[in-house]
Amino acid sequence: MKLFKRHNNVLPGFGITLGFTIFYLSVIVLIPLSALVFRTMGLTWGEFISTVTAPRVMASYKVTFGAALIAALINAVFGVLVAWVLVRYKFPGRKIVDALVDLPFALPTAVAGITLATIYSSNGWVGRYLEPLGIKIAFTPLGITLAMTFIGLPFVVRTVQPVIEEIEVELEEAAVCLGANRWQTLTRVIFPMLFPSILTGFALSFARGVGEYGSIIFIAGNMPMVSEITPLLIITKLEQFDYRGATAIACVMLLISFLMLLVVNLLQKWSRRYAD
């Protein structure tokens, strides 16, 4: 027990709480997740590669990652704008708007899915005005991007917002004193300070979009090779009792989400490099 030196800590319950934490974490998260990895290892390398690089699977990666990338970019731009407006400007209803930003976290994905599909279908509230312009959103890859933008929206706002709140007035005053105009202050002083948090929010939004299922399937159209996302393909394989295929593709997705998690952690470390 030398490893767990208690540093003169008199508080009780360390052993039992840490023990329970690790036990519960293992039973609910670690062992089930490792099942996925072990089941994939039951496949030969050749089987694995041919499964995860089959044309239909490759097409689904392209749709999923492409749409998630565009959605995360849209969120990066508008998320920063929303965060800036919420922190810096006063306008009526600001508190309500601020609370509403978290709606995509609180609204069940299936509800978001059927609602977006209804609004953007050809006779929906928005779709009917886009149809004559030749823009079709529902049942196309564009709909996938739209749904991913919706569910990823709070991530950029919520990571950038606290950083804007903490910017010290003195920095902006110093910039003005040194002769910078407002545009220069914004682009050369404030933007570099926000950049790590924007990247973090972008990565979080992207990761959420890649894994998302519920809000997308209703609006996507789900045509193989065209508008079929990877999570749906996993479910399709499961329903056809193709457990090996489903497992292999899921393993690739899991690997990518771990990679994203690592990137986010590194980004957060980088953004705090001046803090300590």
Partner 1 sequence: MSAHVSTITTSVKSKDRAQNEPAVVRWLLIAVALIFLALFLALPLAAVFSQAFEKGLSVYLDALREADTMSSIKLTLITAAFCVPLNLFFGVTAAWAIAKFTFPGKNLLITLIDLPFSVSPVISGLIYVLIFGLQGWIGPWLQDHDIKIVFAVPGIILATIFVTFPFVARELIPLMEAQGREEEEAALVLGATGLQTFLRVTLPNVKWGIIYGVILCNARAMGEFGAVSVVSGHIRGMTNTVPLHVEILYNEYNYTAAFAVASLLAFLALITLVVKTIAEWKVRQQLENH
Site for partner 1 in 205-264 (CB under 8 A): 207, 210-214, 218, 231-232, 234-235, 238, 241, 243, 246-247, 250, 253-254, 257-258, 260-261
Q: Is 88 in the site for partner 1 (CB under 8 A)?
A: yes
The 186-205 site mask, x for binding partner 1 (CB under 8 A), equals: --------------------
Q: Which is nearer to partner 1, 21 or 50 (CB)?
A: 21
The CA distance from 233 to 60, in Å, is 8
Could you tell me the two tokens for 188? 């050369």
Residue among 20 and 225 whose Cβ is closer to partner 1: 20
Q: Which of 222, 46, 244, 225 is nearest to 147 (CA)?
A: 222
CB of 258 to partner 1, least distance (A): 7
- The whole-angstrom separation of Cα 19 and Cα 210 is 34
Instruction: Using DSSP, state whether 170 is helix, strand or coil.
Output: helix
E runs forming strands in the chain:
none
Q: Which of 54, 69, 119, 130 binds partner 1 (CB under 8 A)?
A: 119
In the chain the first and final C-alpha atoms are separated, in Å, by 31
- Distance of closest approach, residue 162 Cβ to partner 1, in angstroms: 11
Which stretch, 46-54, 127-135, 173-181, 193-201, contacts partner 1 (CB under 8 A)?
173-181
What the block records as the tokens of 227 is 């508008």
Taking the C-alpha atoms of residue 67 and residue 54, their distance in angstroms, rounded to an integer, is 20
Using CB under 8 A, pick the residue from 29, 49, 225, 266 that binds partner 1: 29
Cα 178 to its chain centre, rounded Å, is 39
* Residues from 62 through 81 that contact partner 1 (CB under 8 A): 78, 81
